[in-house]
């Protein structure tokens, strides 16, 4: 039996969900720009490789060692997103190395913290010193903005599993920055339309005052008001603030039908105070930064019926993948962006395999191609099948646990799924679409 037949154990249970949260959104395919119109390749565009560039090297003749940094929040306001992303990276590394196909991947974990501490800068300096040629992360768009120049300036590929900031599409990254989650354009459109379709006429927003929060809030607002609704109050707070009394007062004073919580972990303090002040706990809407398991934070039923959105497929349909993540980290409670982190590693490794080269420049030149972004390629769902095709000089189109990725020339995914979730009595959430 060919060594390429030893595909990842997870492949046989992969179920790609095709249901996408359209909710009245006219376009599924993201064009990688903040206004919804197609853009020409910018200074961020990566060099592309055609099929003739795929190195037809047999597995037995390959001897690649790929060092990847895993930059994820182990502290700070997004710390709840760290464990699933770290587990996703670790599982991908495990699956690739188990195949023995001439590439060994090593992942080095590092904390990104948040923008109040700038832990990420020190972590990136340390990762560069350990000679990584690719970094998965950072999770937060605001953190990436503090380190992207250091990473790409060192010739290192950066692939974020959860950056959604609109500005990265045209960022001058020398073609070294990519992401496996869509920009906030789509999530904002889906949530704004969903809120309107729920019969909400007036909306308030409590928003973290950074590019993530204000960018997403702007899209929610324009979409919601485009349906005829009215945003009656938007109250901002800065990262690091711990008292949200004025923001709550500003928004509730306008008596909105619903409130969108466009924050990170600050929701743990904001939501109970909102409900204690008399606002209905089932009239809240969460975004990916605030959508989390609150079963140990809130009293039973506090937000039952409230809803939220997050990019990605429903991991409940990928049972064995979720189970295998728990084997990596049995303490996992949230799984957001675990699949995107897994797929980030897979794309990096496949790009290295295609060029038979682990340098950042070579990896970057194959990233779009192995994702299917060049328009051609054999559909593959695991590293083993992809490696067999690449060894034969074929192009591949990798579709992973996060769904079809298909990177464009700016490093953005051109296809994405936005899930809609609803909270139960125990303050855990499940997907409804």
| Tens of each residue's pLDDT in the chain, 433 residues | 333 333 333 333 333 333 334 333 333 333 333 323 333 444 666 665 554 478 777 666 789 999 999 999 999 988 988 999 999 999 999 999 999 999 999 999 999 999 888 999 999 999 999 999 999 999 999 999 999 999 999 999 999 999 988 889 999 999 999 999 988 888 999 999 999 999 999 999 999 998 889 999 999 999 999 999 999 999 999 988 999 999 999 999 999 999 999 999 999 999 999 999 999 999 999 999 999 999 999 999 999 999 999 988 876 777 899 999 999 999 998 898 999 999 999 999 999 999 999 999 999 999 999 999 988 899 999 999 999 999 988 999 999 999 888 999 999 998 888 999 999 999 999 999 8
Place of tokens 């003739």: 52
CB 146 within 8 A of CB 107: no
Tokens of 326: 């728990």
pLDDT given at position 353: 96
Q: How is residue 72 annotated by DSSP?
A: E
pLDDT given at position 376: 81
CATH 3.40.50.2300 in the chain is located at 29-181+319-415, 185-311+419-431
Tokens of 85: 């992303």
Tell me how far apart the alpha carbons of residues 237 and 258 are, in angstroms, rounded to a whole number.
Answer: 19
Q: Is the peptide bond before 278 cis (omega within 30 degrees of 0)?
A: no
Backbone angles phi, psi at 133, to 5 degrees: -115, 0
Of 140, 125, 267, 283, residue with least CA distance to 215: 140
Tell me how far apart the alpha carbons of residues 350 and 390 are, in angstroms, rounded to a whole number.
Answer: 9
Rg over alpha carbons for the chain, rounded to the nearest Å, is 21
Question: What's the predicted TM-score (pTM) here?
Answer: 0.81
CB 205 within 8 A of CB 220: yes
Contacts of 296 (CB under 8 A, 6+ apart): none
- Judging by DSSP bridges, how do beta strands 307-311 and 418-423 pair with one another? antiparallel
CATH class of 185-311+419-431: alpha beta
pLDDT given at position 315: 67
pLDDT given at position 334: 85
Does CATH number 3.40.50.2300 belong to domain 29-181+319-415? yes
Length of the chain: 433
């Amino acid at each position: 039996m060919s060594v390429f037949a030893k595909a990842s154990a997870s492949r046989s249970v992969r179920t790609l969900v095709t249901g996408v949260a359209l909710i009245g959104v006219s376009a599924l395919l993201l064009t990688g720009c903040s206004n919804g119109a197609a853009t020409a390749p910018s200074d961020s565009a990566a060099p592309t490789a055609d099929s003739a560039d795929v190195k037809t090297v047999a597995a037995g003749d390959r001897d690649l060692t790929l060092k990847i940094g895993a930059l994820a929040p182990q502290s700070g306001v997004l710390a709840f997103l760290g464990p699933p992303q770290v587990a996703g990276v670790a599982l991908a590394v495990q699956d690739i190395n188990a195949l023995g196909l001439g590439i060994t991947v090593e992942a080095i974990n590092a904390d990104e913290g948040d923008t109040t501490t700038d832990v990420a800068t020190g972590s990136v300096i340390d990762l560069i010193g350990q000679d990584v040629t690719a970094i998965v992360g950072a999770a937060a768009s605001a953190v990436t903005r503090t380190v992207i120049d250091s990473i790409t300036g060192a010739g290192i590929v950066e692939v974020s599993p959860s950056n959604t900031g609109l500005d990265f599409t045209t960022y001058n990254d020398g073609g070294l920055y990519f992401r496996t989650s869509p920009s906030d354009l789509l999530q904002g459109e889906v949530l704004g339309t969903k809120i309107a379709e729920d019969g909400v006429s007036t909306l308030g927003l409590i928003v973290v005052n950074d590019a993530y929060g204000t960018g997403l809030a702007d899209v929610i607002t324009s979409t919601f008001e485009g349906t005829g609704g009215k945003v009656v109050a938007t109250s901002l707070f800065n990262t690091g603030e711990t008292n949200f009394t004025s923001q709550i007062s500003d928004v509730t004073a306008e008596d909105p039908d619903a409130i969108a919580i466009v924050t990170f972990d600050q929701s743990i303090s904001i939501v109970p105070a909102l409900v204690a002040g008399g606002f209905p706990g089932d009239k809240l809407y969460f975004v990916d930064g605030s959508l989390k398991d609150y079963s140990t934070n809130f009293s039973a039923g506090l937000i039952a019926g409230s809803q939220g959105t997050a990019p990605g497929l429903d991991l409940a349909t990928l049972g064995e993948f979720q189970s295998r993540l728990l084997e990596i980290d049995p303490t996992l409670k949230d799984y957001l962006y675990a699949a995107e982190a897994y797929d980030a590693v897979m794309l990096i490794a496949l790009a290295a395999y295609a060029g038979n080269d682990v340098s950042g420049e070579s990896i970057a030149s194959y990233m779009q191609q192995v994702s299917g972004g060049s328009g051609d390629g054999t559909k593959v769902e695991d590293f083993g099948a992809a490696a067999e095709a690449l060894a034969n000089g074929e192009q591949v189109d990798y579709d992973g646990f996060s769904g079809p990725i298909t990177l464009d020339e700016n490093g953005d995914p051109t296809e994405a799924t936005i899930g809609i979730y609803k909270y139960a009595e125990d303050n855990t959430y499940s997907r409804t679409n």
